[in-house]
Amino acid sequence: MRISSLAALTGLVIANLVPIVGVLVFGWQALDLLLLYWLEAAVVGVFTVVRVLLAMGDPNDTGLGALFGFDRYTGPGAGTSNVRFGAVALFCFQYGPLWVVHGAVLFLLPRFAFEPLGWEPLAVLPTLLPAVGAMALSHSLSFGMGFLAGGAWERTAPVAQVFAVFPRLLVLHYAVLIGGFGAATLGSPLFALVVLIVLKTAADLLVEYAEPILRAA
């Protein structure tokens, strides 16, 4: 494994270790994790936009997007500025509403819950900012060493980059959302929270390396 790939992997793992520290050391609950993952989703979304704008790879490549029938976004002109901005618009149009709805559910949940939750997102938010900063640094390491220094920006096309990250974003919004509220229903037992974090980390790793594995097959 190249040093750049190892650094990118290290950044990804560190980003996912932050919630474990929060649970074990600071006693975070399930809803705290959901709020943290929602904030992380914003960080991932920003980096995705930058990746799409910088991607200069094979215009015939859609990467994982080919699995969803997006081969039509290939061929001559697929790496032009118009296509890059179009890919960014496509990403924001699909991902943005998911992120907004996720946040709305979190911020409105205490007001519509059947029983008092004893949890207020605006009060918890400042305590999570250091963790968000640590996760942003980890994603920066993955971006800098894996995407830039590792040369991924030269090998991937804009549309390919959109769909390379989209499965991870879906995992973040659906698997974590369902698992997190399941943990909240059970009273946020430590075991359930750790399992939630481990599953989310495993999903991140699988999505990160799914495309290279498919290419090598």
Residues lower than pLDDT 70 in the chain: 1-5, 7-8, 57-80, 113-117, 165-189, 207-217
Q: pLDDT tens-digit profile of 25-45? A: 888 887 888 888 889 889 988
Domain ranges for the chain, please list them.
3-216
Q: How many CB atoms lie within 10 A of CB 201?
A: 17
Beta strands in the chain (DSSP E): none
3-state secondary structure of 69: coil
**What is the per-residue pLDDT for 184?**
59
**What is the per-residue pLDDT for 46?**
93
Residue 123's alpha-carbon distances to 2, 107, 119, 128, in angstroms, are 43, 11, 8, 10
Phi-psi sector, 75: left (phi>0), alpha (psi -120 to 50), beta: left
Distance, in Å, from the CA atom of 55 to the CA atom of 102, rounded to the nearest integer, reads: 28
**What is the per-residue pLDDT for 64?**
46
Distance, in Å, from the CA atom of 103 to the CA atom of 213, rounded to the nearest integer, reads: 33
pTM: 0.79
Q: pLDDT tens-digit profile of 138-181? A: 888 878 877 787 777 777 777 777 777 666 666 666 655 665 56
What does the angle CA 197 – CA 24 – CA 125 come to, to the nearest 5 degrees? 75
